Structure 1
Amino acid sequence: MSPASAAGAVPKGSPYLLYTASISANGTGTGYSSYINVHDAHNNAYAFGIQSDKGSPQSKGKPRYIWERVQNGKFTYGYLGPATNKLTPIGMRWYKNDVATMIVNHKTIGTLKLNLDGRLFFNAEANARLNGDVVHSTVQNTRITVGDRKSNTGLNGKWDTSFSFHGLKAKQTNSPRVQGASFKIDGRVTGLPRGGNWDTAQVSGIGMIAQKW
């Protein structure tokens, strides 16, 4: 686990990416979460959201803000402060000098180093931990500003909610909205092998959309 970084210096100027939404994470069992996520096609990703995990010695099952980062396929994460299961406005920024920020209630609460390359893809996502765990999450009023020239500014097409893993499914509640899209993500985890959990397999329901390119 990487240490959670306090809010460091945020770069001047406009970010290449700003992704905001209001999220809630509810459920039963040992763990459930709700995230917004950005990733590229080169094994780099960044997610920020709320997680409850009874298997974590840090959170002991209480909701916490959490970031997750993948760089060249290597995964790290960090907890920030206590969160709530209620609907909370969050967000992320990413700057081309490889700085990302975390936003809660319209305030920057942390920064981290993050490399992303090329076209970006965006998830509204929820996860649950073990077979039998249930998640009821929402990701509401998604707003994504991305790009730095006309050819790559904005989003391409519609949100795709076909990404369903181990019983979790995202449903867009205001389709076909692109900006302002809202999702309910629900399900009971099934089909994990013995000893399997959200660290060993993708256990998620996802809505995804791509950057214009």
Structure 2
Amino acid sequence: MSDIFAQAWAWLGQPNRWSWTDPAGIPYRTLEHLGFSALGLLVAGVLTIPPALWLAHHRRGAFLASSVMNIGRAIPSFGLIILCWYLASRWGLNTSFWPLLVALVALALPPLFTNTYAGVLTVDAGAVDAARGTGHTETQIMLRMELPLASPVILAGARVAFLQLVATVAIGAIVNDGGGLGRYIVDGFAQGVAGYGEILAGGIAVIVLALLCEGLFSLITRLAVPKGLTLGTTARPQVA
């Protein structure tokens, strides 16, 4: 066991390990990892939040929301990546980019959709009726009232989705030439016993990144949620 830690320490001490421009550097791989995760979350949010907001405002799609949540829990991350890679290779697409991105978007859709839907449903119906009585349009009610008030629950869903994406990017290194921090784990396994130190260091790096992202989302939630909302009772994610 001590040999593994010694290998990891020696690996971390290599001169190019902390480079921002060398693909072997941890900062370089961290930015690559975060870039893929953020892009997947952004695309999923654009595709999901508007329709979920509209459906919840009009009190439609309850069965769809429940189905999306259940499907999201059943999707295996690794299997989805392999399926997307197979389809991309058959269709002549870039297998270093599209399989992982499509898989990330698919994994982020369920928590974003269900939390947006559930968050809008928790908005007080009396306040919505009052807004209609004062002449607000349906669009104004959705964007100026329901969306801000539902933001704690939406951000909770985004947090769950983003942490899942961070973990999935590491797995995606198997089919992605970049792979973020997961590249170290894959390369370490390819070396056999000699790569155990790299595997350990790469795994620790992924864990640290996930913890930092968790703290960042907590800070974003505090800054973005309208004052007066109780985060402890409102911002509970609706998905596991």
The bucket for the TM-score relative to the shorter chain is under 0.3
Larger Rg: 2
Q: Which has the higher helix share?
A: 2
TM-score scaled by length of structure 1: 0.27
Q: Which has the higher strand share?
A: 1
Higher relative CO (Cα under 8 Å, sequence separation at least 6) belongs to 2
TM-score scaled by length of structure 2: 0.25
